Amino acid sequence: MSEVIVFVIFAAVALVGAISMVSARNPVYSAMGLLSTMFSLAVLYVVLDAHLVAAVQVIIYAGAVMTLFLFVIMLIGVDKADAYGRQVPAQRIMTFVVAIGFFAAIALAARSAWITGSGAFGDPEMNGTIEAVSDELFGTWTIVFLSTVMLLTIAAVGTIALAYFGAEVEDEEALL
C-alpha cells in the first residue's frame, strides 16, 4: 500500500514539474521544473527497487546535466524574453496530432501492462541492484561496454582537439 501512496505523490510531482517546465516564462523556473521531474523519477525508481538506477538518475541528470543547464542559463542571462510569437507553420495542429498520437500509444501500452504489481516495498532480497547490474555490465556485455567507453572518449578527445586546434589557427590568422 505504501508504494502506491508514494507513487501517486511523486507521479503528481513529476507531472507538475513537467508542465511547469514548458509553461514557465523564466528559464530558471523551467530548469527547476525539469529538476523536480527528474527527482520524482528517481523516487519512482526507488519504489520499483531499482536503487542503482535512482542514484544514477540523480547523479547524472540532477547533478551533472541540470547543473550545466542552469549554469548556461545563468551565464547567458535570462532577462531577454524569448520571442514567443515565432512559430513553425501549422504548429498548433501539428502539436495536437502529436499529442493525440502520444496518448494513443500510452493507451495501447496500458492495455497490455497497466499495474502488474511489484515486489514487496523495501524487500531486502531485491537489494542487490549494484551487483546484478555490474555482473551484466562487466560479465555479459564487457565488449559492448568497453566499446561505448571508447566511443565517448573519442568524442571528448575530438571535441577538445577541434576546439583547441581551431582556436590556434584562428590566432595565427589574426596574427597575419
Q: Which stretch in 50-58, 90-98, 104-112, 140-148 sits in contact with another protein by CB under 8 A?
A: 50-58
Cα(38)–Cα(113) distance, rounded to whole angstroms? 23
Cα(58)–Cα(40) distance, rounded to whole angstroms? 10
- With the CA atoms of 33, 116, 48 and 147 taken in that order, what torsion angle do they form, in degrees rounded to the nearest 10? -90
Number of H helices, E strands in the chain: 7, 0
Does 8 help bind another protein (rule: CB under 8 A)?
Answer: no
Does 75 help bind another protein (rule: CB under 8 A)?
Answer: yes
Does 67 help bind another protein (rule: CB under 8 A)?
Answer: yes
Does 41 help bind another protein (rule: CB under 8 A)?
Answer: no
Among 101, 119, 128, 166, which residue interacts with another protein (rule: CB under 8 A)? 128
Decide whether 106 or 130 has the Cβ nearer to another protein. 130
Cα(36)–Cα(105) distance, rounded to whole angstroms? 25
Decide whether 18 or 73 has the Cβ nearer to another protein. 73
Does 129 help bind another protein (rule: CB under 8 A)?
Answer: yes
C-alpha grid cell for residue 175?
A: 596574427
How many chain residues bind another protein (CB under 8 A)?
Answer: 26
Q: What residue has cell string 514557465? A: 24
Contact present, 27 and 73 (Cβ < 8 Å):
yes
Cα radius of gyration rounded to whole Å, the chain: 22
Among 5, 19, 64, 149, which residue interacts with another protein (rule: CB under 8 A)? 64
Q: What residue has cell string 507521479? A: 11
Does 59 help bind another protein (rule: CB under 8 A)?
Answer: yes
The residues that touch another protein, with contacts defined as CB under 8 A, are 2, 26, 28-29, 32, 35, 51-52, 54-56, 58-59, 62-64, 67, 70-71, 74-75, 122, 127-130
